[in-house]
Structure 1
């Protein structure tokens, strides 16, 4: 009996099962790292908060995380605390939620946040969590507003292909720069907003599977669509303004083979009513205001306008169209395969009642903005180079001011 047990323990099938389980554990660990988490027993440490840098806070460092299924499958806690070494201020979030329905992956979430947000940024509630070792644009951003936000949100899957999220929030907004919002002679240097948002993410051509009670996307299908409606209420929970916003984005890939494809991204937004600059739109600029090309040398963004200067344009209605064509990698060796990416970007926008925004100078995009360029990625340890040229309606008199040269960083786990 003992011999039989010993034989079973060392059988090829048992060893194979052990190797398979080890492989799955390693794969899951790398997947978590790729999503920006360092997994532990009950808590996944969020690496987004470890080290960052921007022009307002300087070095921003802290710690954050969220509980995992080992802690609870029905309840979760997600929080962080960071410190800005230039503004000498702590920022934090305290959040959590509980699952209402397992079949539809419905969660009710609560949060209290005291932090900064980039003015003119507009994010979709349903965006998948994005992580990279560099968040390129963050390095050069200097226009932030402080916000203290209390929010309650509901996540719900109408189907595997259609995700929704609804959020109610109240925020106290305090711009960190010289700005006032003028309405009929009343000037607001800081203000309250009460918002209702509803967002949809539709991936009709993706494939999904249910694993351990969770829906996972196993094949990326294109196109993908995101849509979000926002309504601000004056007089509700001290809200100062009435305004509405509608945001749309679609991502499509024209795939020629496993290594060659063209990615197209169309993004648009419109705001109506009395909307402060904090809640309007920029067009994803990523160029700092310095005299020479070398002084402006920094990190290229993922889908940003590399020749557009920060705070140069704002809009209450805008659209951008971006194309990236990924050429077949150059096979220098089995491990060294640089890749050329051809890029073309366009933006169009405008603004009504621009005189309401006092203390800050900017232009609109009514003439249409254009840039073209290329990236040569993965030249050395994931680093590459990027070049872009600004032309068309907003071409600048000095040739050098229209050129952006930067480095890129691409790594896959």
Structure 2
């Protein structure tokens, strides 16, 4: 009996001092962004949360509050509850204190200054004369099956003007069973990274992608995050952000010295950085700075927003060079606070984002992308010869045929049984669903073709409509590589039901040099063209289900054209064109051109043309299929020179034309984007109206607004009437900003864009253009509007208003309302 009382006393005593461990996370009330290193007070004891805002506390009295303090926020007092093991504490901004900017302390500020000053000697690409290494990279789209609920739910599907439909949803159950067996997707590659004082190059030594015999080459150039922590701007998801160890970055970030730790036996400062605006979605992270040479020894980066991003960089210290060289890089992307899906490799994957400790059990909230890359066979400061230095990434044919024995050397995790099953399962799925064929087909369609045996059918030539021809039916095609790798023949034929005329053309071509994709071609066509239209011949060909502007055009000219030309990508980052053409032109409207006292109702123009498309900031990849622009960066530049040939092939006029265009697009991590299009042209000499500039008008000359409703063009002036302005020199500027989609319900998700367009022009008075009247734009043409695109299944509405010197007297005449359509091929 005495043992019973002894046990009872021990139990009661233990109960009095029992503790409950509670975990928590501190986040911003508005943005849900974690607040790092906030001060926590419990039972007169102070400690700090970690850099993710997480903490744990042993609670022995639930009547004692947990107090949280952080500069710029109101104090938060929370009482723990006995049965709640995880808590989320949301701090509210102190608006009075928020107005005062938070400054970095002088001590840590000096450390960051020394990091920036020593960047050239610490960055391996600048501090070393040369290096090369092989790199193994493994990407997977996966989910933790333990975090997915297997419950079968009852859902109610909304229906338009009808009662909701009740259904059983087994998505979570099926997803859990699937993810227990395999990953959702995976791919791996081994590449050789080379660097010397002049250039960098990546050569793919081996690659395999689940479900594909031939890889999706665009993935091999996918740069989800910068290789170097010193790179500025730092790139995340191919979007530039300001590096925290740059001079401008110091103006954007606040730094805090946490402590000093040991890495590879060397002391390192542990410094946390965050945006000076506490609720901003910019980069946050931890930097481990070597206390002796001020190099980065380890780094963690994180972004919270549309997507949540985690990146970890680790380094090895090399005594012989006093350099911290890359050791490992990990990158994880999960769904953030957006409601749209994130796409990869043509498929749609939904990623997790919940910052609260109580995780969602929905299947679509648990998937994520992770990438890990590890260098090996490292060689430093040895002579390196880089072949084909003009190509940033090279993918030789041999890299596509590596056997399983080659990949066995990179099996780092023998416990990951899902990895092998993923290849087997997705390869089988790819065969049954013909996924690889769909990707091949998608590449063709996005360029406007559909492959049939030895021909690629030209989808844009099948049916068209305009006011002159009415409906235009035709067929066009080009031979493909199944017939010959060296030769191709493009041809088309069409018939206009309104003008009752046939049009046709043929272009045989020969591949003179495969690596530079140099084609030599000859062409003959008898067709019609829009007057005063400027086409940049090096522009890429993209598929359109319809071409909206010509629908309402009535003024065309017939052009019988014979030409010989060369197209090439020989120059780095440049597409070039050189051609000679002979054009027999007959205006199909009432027009007479008076030049030097002589009248012309039809005429002959022989020209030589030189054109370039230069993308200096883009990067290119050499693949067995040819060159691919895998990093499409801006700005891009187009230059086109046209000169008539006096006295050659019965040429009637002497004139020169210079056309220039540049386009810049800036994407944001929020999903929004801004763009600028600047285009200008000048024509010298005796230029007929067919070869002047009309600056892409797209408005009908009708009285009522609704009578002018038609399809909107991509970059056309929507309030400018057809044939209203002609110029022999002009400059136009277009500014756009596109916001994120707005979800209104029942698949109605409009995307708003604000647009401003302006143009200036003038005309040469030395020539007479009889039969057609027009204005000039010396004072400037202006219009602005709002595009509400993709409201439902790609259909939208746009509205523009015309103002400035050429504003019309009637208010209604300055308004243009159009229908827009965007075709999403999912590629």
TM-score under structure 2 normalisation? 0.48
Instruction: Give the equivalent residue in structure 2 for 1:327.
Output: 739
Tell me how far 1:218 sits from its aligned partner.
2.0
Instruction: State whether structure 2 residue 804 is matched by structure 1 residue 392.
Output: yes
Instruction: State whether structure 2 residue 165 is matched by structure 1 residue 165.
Output: no
Q: Which has the higher strand share?
A: 1
Aligned pairs for 1:102-141 (under 5 A) are 102-141=514-553
Distance 1:136-1:17 versus aligned 2 partners, 3 A rule: same
For 1:373-410, what per-residue CA distance to the aligned partner results, in whole angstroms no more than 9, with x for missing partners?
A: 01101112210000000000100000000000011001
Tell me how far 1:160 sits from its aligned partner.
4.5
Choose 181-190 or 19-28, whichever is displaced more. Answer: 19-28
Tell me how far 1:220 sits from its aligned partner.
1.6
Instruction: Give the equivalent residue in structure 2 for 1:357.
Output: 769
Tell me the distance in 2 between the aligned counterparts of 1:186 and 1:78.
39
Indicate conservation of the 8 Å contact 2:549/2:711, yes or no: yes
Indicate conservation of the 8 Å contact 1:35/1:130, yes or no: yes
Q: 2:599 aligns with which of 170, 187, 200?
A: 187
For 1:194-234, what per-residue CA distance to the aligned partner results, in whole angstroms no more than 9, with x for missing partners?
A: 00000000111222222224111223211110000000122
Instruction: Give the equivalent residue in structure 1 for 2:567.
Output: 155
Instruction: Give the equivalent residue in structure 1 for 2:213.
Output: none
User: Size of the alignment, in residue pairs?
Assistant: 403
Indicate conservation of the 8 Å contact 2:518/2:570, yes or no: no
Q: 1:67 aligns with which of 479, 485, 499?
A: 479
Instruction: Give the equivalent residue in structure 2 for 1:17.
Output: 427
Instruction: State whether structure 2 residue 679 is matched by structure 1 residue 262.
Output: no
Tell me the distance in 1 between the aligned counterparts of 2:511 and 2:444.
21
Choose 148-157 or 209-218, whichever is displaced more. Answer: 209-218
Instruction: Give the equivalent residue in structure 2 for 1:302.
Output: 714
Tell me the distance in 2 between the aligned counterparts of 1:354 and 1:234.
19
SS at match of 2:436: helix
Tell me the distance in 2 between the aligned counterparts of 1:261 and 1:47.
30
SS at match of 2:579: strand
SS at match of 1:158: coil
SS at match of 1:159: coil
* Greater relative contact order (Cα < 8 A, sep 6+): 1
Tell me how far 1:163 sits from its aligned partner.
1.1
SS at match of 2:823: coil
Tell me how far 1:12 sits from its aligned partner.
7.2
Tell me the distance in 1 between the aligned counterparts of 2:745 and 2:443.
27
Instruction: Give the equivalent residue in structure 1 for 2:307.
Output: none
SS at match of 1:70: coil
Q: 2:701 aligns with which of 286, 289, 292?
A: 289
Tell me how far 1:13 sits from its aligned partner.
4.7
Indicate conservation of the 8 Å contact 1:112/1:149, yes or no: yes
Distance 1:214-1:52 versus aligned 2 partners, 3 A rule: same
Tell me the distance in 1 between the aligned counterparts of 2:579 and 2:428.
44
Indicate conservation of the 8 Å contact 1:134/1:409, yes or no: no
For 1:228-258, what per-residue CA distance to the aligned partner results, in whole angstroms no more than 9, with x for missing partners?
A: 0000122101101110000000000122226
Give unmatched runs, 5+ long, in structure 2. Answer: 1-420
Indicate conservation of the 8 Å contact 1:372/1:390, yes or no: yes
Instruction: Give the equivalent residue in structure 2 for 1:375.
Output: 787
Task: Tell me which structure has the larger Cα radius of gyration.
Answer: 2
Choose 335-344 or 132-141, whichever is displaced more. Answer: 335-344
Instruction: Give the equivalent residue in structure 1 for 2:730.
Output: 318
Instruction: Give the equivalent residue in structure 2 for 1:212.
Output: 624
SS at match of 1:152: strand
SS at match of 2:701: coil
Instruction: Give the equivalent residue in structure 2 for 1:5.
Output: none
Choose 59-68 or 308-317, whichever is displaced more. Answer: 59-68
Tell me how far 1:271 sits from its aligned partner.
0.2
Q: 2:685 aligns with which of 273, 289, 297?
A: 273
Q: 1:36 aligns with which of 442, 448, 454?
A: 448
Instruction: Give the equivalent residue in structure 1 for 2:316.
Output: none
Choose 101-110 or 111-120, whichever is displaced more. Answer: 101-110
Indicate conservation of the 8 Å contact 2:641/2:658, yes or no: yes
Tell me the distance in 2 between the aligned counterparts of 1:148 and 1:110.
14
Aligned pairs for 1:46-57 (under 5 A) are 46-57=458-469
Instruction: Give the equivalent residue in structure 1 for 2:470.
Output: 58
Give unmatched runs, 5+ long, in structure 1. Answer: 1-10
Tell me how far 1:355 sits from its aligned partner.
4.7
Choose 175-184 or 205-214, whichever is displaced more. Answer: 205-214
Q: 2:753 aligns with which of 341, 351, 358?
A: 341
Instruction: State whether structure 2 residue 820 is matched by structure 1 residue 408.
Output: yes
For 1:72-95, what per-residue CA distance to the aligned partner results, in whole angstroms no more than 9, with x for missing partners?
A: 110001110000100000000011
Distance 1:315-1:394 versus aligned 2 partners, 3 A rule: same
Aligned pairs for 1:189-204 (under 5 A) are 189-204=601-616
Indicate conservation of the 8 Å contact 1:180/1:357, yes or no: yes
For 1:258-303, what per-residue CA distance to the aligned partner results, in whole angstroms no more than 9, with x for missing partners?
A: 6201111000000001111111110110001111000000000000
Tell me how far 1:159 sits from its aligned partner.
3.4
Instruction: Give the equivalent residue in structure 1 for 2:662.
Output: 250
Instruction: Give the equivalent residue in structure 1 for 2:346.
Output: none
For 1:32-68, what per-residue CA distance to the aligned partner results, in whole angstroms no more than 9, with x for missing partners?
A: 2222211122111111111111011111110001111
Tell me the distance in 1 between the aligned counterparts of 2:748 and 2:508.
44
Instruction: Give the equivalent residue in structure 2 for 1:6.
Output: none
Tell me how far 1:23 sits from its aligned partner.
2.1
For 1:127-177, what per-residue CA distance to the aligned partner results, in whole angstroms no more than 9, with x for missing partners?
A: 111321121101111110000000011011133511100010001000001
Instruction: Give the equivalent residue in structure 1 for 2:139.
Output: none
Tell me how far 1:339 sits from its aligned partner.
0.3
